[in-house]
């Protein structure tokens, strides 16, 4: 019975198929081609819209089979997996690395700020690399230097090497940054480098620090060595005992000039991924450092610096011709510089 049934179905199939098969087959093939076409189009569109992303991910997957980091899509261009020429990243090869640059001006607290960053086990800020003139002779030497830093091939006392999660440098505005700002912004935006813009609010205090530092360069009261930063209150007191005379005539033009440079720097680099910090705020408010660590996407740590502030307390104690300075700034927009004080 079963055989009969079987035979019957087979038979009926054989009988019917020669008539219907070509039409059914054609319809199936047509549908298949249509579905394929739609699928290919979708893939193409996807690749066009997220072209760079796909390329980036493919590249990395080819280089190193690291697991996908759990990040937001906007972060992808800022996440890197450097492959240093000089050593192996070993157990940290799959730890993502962020690139940064601290842009600042001399005597604006960037030295202190950098020691704070370098107190983090996963941050390497390699110092004022472009203070050496040949490295900033032209855009090519600047890019070569940056490539080496961001590939984790730059060796300094700050390098944490394999387990670095954020690598960068300290860069003063007058070290080629203003001159080559266009090319540098382009490099930052194509290579995914973030900028920390660090300035000082009280430019009069900054001026005292510059004058005192320049005096120290010649006088060297600390056993004949010039120190831009100190690690003890004793040394700080010796350096602060020098009280500069400020030329009251040129004071306002100089303050205005510094203000202009700061404004220009902010303008030039605002199209990079950036954070703006003021030295005074970091001193007063320790959550600013948490904000910086969040910006660099490193695990949050309590950061310590051994540096001691040199010029503490009221400014009137640090300027020889205080009365002249007070007169010069009284009633101007810079008047607040006279009164700014720190608790630390």
Ligand X SMILES: *[C@@H]1O[C@H](CO)[C@@H](O)[C@H](O)[C@H]1NC(C)=O
Sites of contact with ligand X (CB under 6 A):
92, 95, 119, 121-122, 134, 137-138, 140-141, 163, 165, 222-223, 238, 247, 249-250, 285, 287-288, 291, 299, 304, 306, 326-327, 330-331
Closer residue to ligand X in complex, CB, 50/326 = 326
Closer residue to ligand X in complex, CB, 160/312 = 160
Burial of 143 (0-12, 13-18, 19+ CB in 10 A): middle
Closer residue to ligand X in complex, CB, 104/293 = 293
Closer residue to ligand X in complex, CB, 35/323 = 323
In whole angstroms, give the CA distance from residue 111 to residue 263. 21
Burial of 318 (0-12, 13-18, 19+ CB in 10 A): buried
Closer residue to ligand X in complex, CB, 306/339 = 306
Closer residue to ligand X in complex, CB, 51/340 = 340
Closer residue to ligand X in complex, CB, 44/237 = 237
Min dist CB 97 to ligand X, Å, is 8
Min dist CB 33 to ligand X, Å, is 50
Min dist CB 285 to ligand X, Å, is 4
Asked whether the beta carbons of 168 and 149 are under 8 A apart, the reply is yes
Min dist CB 79 to ligand X, Å, is 12
Residue 305, token pair as written in the block: 């610096």
Min dist CB 306 to ligand X, Å, is 6
Residue 308, number of CB atoms within 10 A of its CB: 18
Min dist CB 235 to ligand X, Å, is 6
Q: What is the 3-class SS of 21-49, one letter each residue?
A: HHHHHHHHHHHHHHHHHHHHHHHHHHHHH
Asked whether the beta carbons of 169 and 129 are under 8 A apart, the reply is yes
Min dist CB 135 to ligand X, Å, is 9
Min dist CB 204 to ligand X, Å, is 14
Which CA distances in Å does 35 have to 23, 39, 45, 48, 204? 18, 6, 16, 20, 72
For 99, phi and psi rounded to 5 degrees?
-105, 135
Closer residue to ligand X in complex, CB, 3/302 = 302
């Amino acid at each position: 019975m079963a055989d009969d049934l079987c035979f019957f179905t087979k038979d009926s199939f054989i009988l019917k198929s020669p008539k219907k098969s070509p039409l059914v087959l054609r319809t199936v093939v047509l549908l298949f081609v249509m579905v394929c076409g739609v699928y290919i189009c979708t893939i193409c569109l996807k690749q066009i819209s997220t072209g760079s992303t796909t390329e980036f991910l493919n590249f990395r997957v080819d280089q190193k089979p690291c697991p996908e980091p759990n990040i937001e899509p906007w972060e992808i261009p800022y996440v890197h997996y450097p492959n240093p020429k000089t050593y192996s990243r070993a157990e940290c090869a799959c730890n993502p690395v962020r690139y940064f640059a601290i842009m600042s001006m001399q005597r604006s607290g960037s030295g202190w700020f950098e020691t704070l960053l370098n107190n983090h086990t996963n941050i390497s800020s390699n110092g004022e690399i472009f203070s050496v003139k040949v490295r900033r002779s032209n855009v090519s030497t600047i890019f070569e230097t940056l490539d080496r830093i961001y590939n984790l091939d730059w060796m300094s006392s700050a390098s944490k090497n394999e387990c670095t999660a954020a690598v960068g440098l300290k860069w003063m505005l007058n070290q080629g940054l203003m001159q080559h700002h266009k090319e540098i912004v382009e490099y930052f935006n194509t290579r995914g480098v973030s900028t920390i813009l660090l300035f000082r609010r009280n430019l009069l205090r900054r001026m005292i620090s510059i004058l005192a530092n320049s005096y120290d360069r010649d006088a060297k009261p600390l056993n004949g060595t010039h120190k831009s930063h100190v690690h003890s209150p004793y040394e700080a007191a010796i350096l602060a005992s020098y009280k500069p005379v400020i030329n009251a005539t040129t004071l306002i033009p100089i303050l205005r000039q510094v203000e202009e440079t700061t404004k220009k720097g902010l303008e030039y680099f605002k199209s990079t991924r950036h954070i703006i910090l003021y030295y005074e705020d970091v001193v007063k408010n320790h959550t600013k450092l948490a904000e910086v660590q969040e910006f660099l996407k490193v695990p949050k740590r309590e950061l310590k610096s051994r540096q001691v502030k040199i010029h503490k307390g009221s400014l009137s104690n640090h300027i020889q011709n205080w009365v002249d300075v007070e007169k010069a700034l009284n009633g101007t927009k810079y008047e607040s510089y006279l009164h700014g004080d720190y608790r630390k």
